[in-house]
Amino acid sequence: MTTVQNSPKVSADLLATMNPSSGGTAVDNAAETQDRFLKLLVTQMKNQDPLNPLDNAEVTSQMAQLSTVTGIEKLNSTLGSMLASQQASQSLQAAGMIGHGVLVPGSALALQDGKGVFGIELDGPADAVQVTIRDGDGNAVQQIDLGRQEGGAQPLLWDGTLADGSTAPDGLYTFEVSATRGGEAVAVTALSFDQVASVSTGPAGVTLNLPLTGSVSLADVRQII
């Protein structure tokens, strides 16, 4: 706070206002800060030198600073309430996803009962899209040509057929995707299929716990199946 000029003699009231007892709280709220300021201002006016009165411009500046500080504190309080409300809303939304399948960024592909669900997300239309499936040792066991595809996220199904026509055993595989348009590469993201097991809330916000992929945020979900 900017110092306001007053008489050389400092009154006991002024000292009491500037130095509250140690038994009070460490951090004043906005109302307490405003009350202390007004008490200080009134005390200074009572003790001002008639021949050297307080400067109006300086007093106005101090009041403007107080108003700014109070406004910031109220804004922080409002933002905190909005954040808590948003997190509570996200928690309810996420809880409703428990047991549902989701597509999230990842390259894992689980084959179960001869079926493997996965997905892709294209930044734009592509003339040719190819998926390469690899086994646990990294060997390519199947290539799937999807042909022309539109942009966006979409789920896909692998029937477990290998390149030699045999059936792949159930287990965990990986896959990678490439896409082109007019000979130029198109950005594409591999999407893993997983099932929401539980929901967690922490400093990072609301997260979905997936058995195959791990913890992901709601923003990572590309599609709910």
pLDDT at residue number 193: 96
* Confidence at residue 205, expressed as pLDDT on a 0 to 100 scale: 78
CATH number for the domain including 157?
2.60.40.4070
Q: CB neighbours of 14 closer than 8 A, spacing ≥ 6?
A: 6, 40, 43, 44, 47
pLDDT at 211 over 80: yes
Residue 45 has pLDDT above 60, yes or no: yes
Residue range 12-34: mean pLDDT, rounded: 52
**Strand partners of residue 131:** 144, 177
Q: What are the strands, taking DSSP E only, across 52-139?
A: 101-105, 108-111, 116-122, 126-134
**Which residues on neighbouring strands pair with residue 126, listed in sequence order?**
149
Asked if the model's pLDDT at residue 118 lies above 90, the reply is: yes
Task: Evaluate whether 129 touches 204 at the Cβ level (below 8 Å).
Answer: no
Domain check: are 88 and 131 in the same one? no
Q: Which residue has the higher pLDDT, 76 or 114?
A: 114
Of 76, 95, 114, the residue at which a domain comes to its end is 95
Mean pLDDT, to the nearest integer, of 199-210? 83
pLDDT of residue 10: 42
- The reply to whether 57 and 112 lie within a common domain is no
Integer Cα distance of 206 and 210 in angstroms: 13
Lowest mean pLDDT among 41-55, 89-103, 167-181: 41-55
pTM (predicted TM-score): 0.61
35 vs 130 pLDDT, higher one: 130
Better-predicted residue by pLDDT, 143 or 74? 143
Domain of residue 204, residue span: 101-224
Mean pLDDT of 154-183: 95
- Asked whether residue 213 falls in the same domain as residue 128, the answer is yes
Percent residues over pLDDT 90 in the chain: 47
> Is there a domain that residue 201 lies in?
yes
196-224 burial, b at 16+ Cβ within 10 Å, e below that, comes to: beebeeeeebbbbbbeebeebebebbbbe
Domain end among 35, 60, 95: 95
User: Does residue 187 have a pLDDT over 90?
Assistant: yes
Instruction: Tell me what pLDDT residue 195 has.
Output: 93
The proportion of the chain whose per-residue pLDDT surpasses 70, expressed as a percent, equals 64
